[in-house]
Structure 1
């Protein structure tokens, strides 16, 4: 399996980094080919703007329409950094997306990656959404962590929804919209208070869940 791992965490010594490293080790140990985009380490520029295209559409360009134009040029109309990310998506069977949960969403650098790379004409267009999305046939797994306990992420808890529900704009309106089959996210809760034993259990649980992801009976929340 070809795995494209998109990773966004600013602290290389964080537990998020530990989960990232454990997942990489799992895939490599099991003979999967892995390509990584570490957005912080690479200095990925998250702001969508006219310099994302080889030729600008002018002072009053529509960014989405510029994406469609660039995609229509065999993707040669995109700036090199975006073109490289698109190429990684093209060959991937499984996308793995990891980030810490900030304000019930990915950090801005990850949102910017989607704005620029999940381009119109590349992952979707007006005739190709959800089951007909341009990434149909590929899978995606989200890995994230929270500071609060799992009990607070429930309809009865402080946050009034699960993490999966908080991530609806990403899981449904972005990933499933592009045609991806979306695995149930892996969520590590209560990381600010967890002790070493609890953290180690999360790493073991992550490996066990990756076994499920690559199995013949994965647990999808969106399956086209």
Structure 2
């Protein structure tokens, strides 16, 4: 049996950071499970965050109007992407599991990690209009976010000053990971380790280690599958009328993003829902 591969995309500047400790726990535990663990330490690599024309080798298809998405798609098809992008894409291809380890910056990932996503997950390689969401390129792969916050947990409650953490996570988990087809595990959130006592930080790492032991047995997060939508420009990629009708009697919206004017489903982006609970999988094809 071929050895499994895990990729950790890591973004923190300090070797003494809690994020580094969380990365090390994942490396150690996954290695004990038989994984070959690859780490892309973005700051140590001095990874370029900005998506520019330099990412393309050779002539542009349309030099008069540079469109990054189109040009990198053609470059990927023709083997003309820059070496640093190609190297990261090879890691993604090899990995069955990808963990993004980072501190939450401005309700999102650090710029250097966003740059990795912008540059590495090129059209064609990671997605297309024919291959997206549950029909996506990486539908056989698993991914998850593991991150620290500067805020305490209550600040990210629906009644907390920062608002619902589920809304914060929707663009990252649905708009990037699930969009590329990944099966997305619930995030590992380390709440405010910088202002927690040493015993609490140790307990956080112990909990992460314990979770990793059973990670692959977890159910991924639930997202609305493509089959619920009319995937045509004529239909506007809108939900089929039959599906909307079926949602009328439901107490919550389908997902954090597809709330349909209803209350958000509780913890839709932070835990897998039990089978049958707002699963979003009715047969919508007549």
State the TM-score, normalized to the length of structure 2: 0.74
From 110, 113, 123, the counterpart of 2:126? 123
From 70, 73, 81, the counterpart of 2:75? 70
Q: Which structure shows the higher strand fraction?
A: 1
Alpha-carbon distance between aligned partners in 1 of 2:20 and 2:167, rounded to the nearest angstrom: 24
Larger radius of gyration: 2
CA contact (8 A) 2:10 2:39 kept: yes
1:47 is matched with: 50
CA contact (8 A) 1:148 1:191 kept: no
CA apart distance, 1:192: 2.5
From 38, 41, 44, the counterpart of 1:38? 41
1:213 is matched with: 215
Map 1:70-219 onto structure 2 (within 5 A): 70-73=75-78, 76-162=79-165, 164-215=166-217, 218-219=218-219
Runs of 4+ in 1 over 3 A off after TM superposition: none
Flag structure 1 segments of 5+ consecutive residues without an equivalent.
none
- Gap change, CA 1:139 and 1:18, over 3 Å in 2: same
Alpha-carbon distance between aligned partners in 2 of 1:27 and 1:44, rounded to the nearest angstrom: 25
Q: Counterpart of 1:214 in 2: which secondary structure?
A: helix
Alpha-carbon distance between aligned partners in 2 of 1:5 and 1:38, rounded to the nearest angstrom: 8
CA apart distance, 1:87: 0.6
CA apart distance, 1:190: 1.8
CA apart distance, 1:37: 0.5
CA RMSD of aligned residues (A): 1.3
Higher relative contact order (Cα pairs below 8 Å, separated by 6+ residues):
1
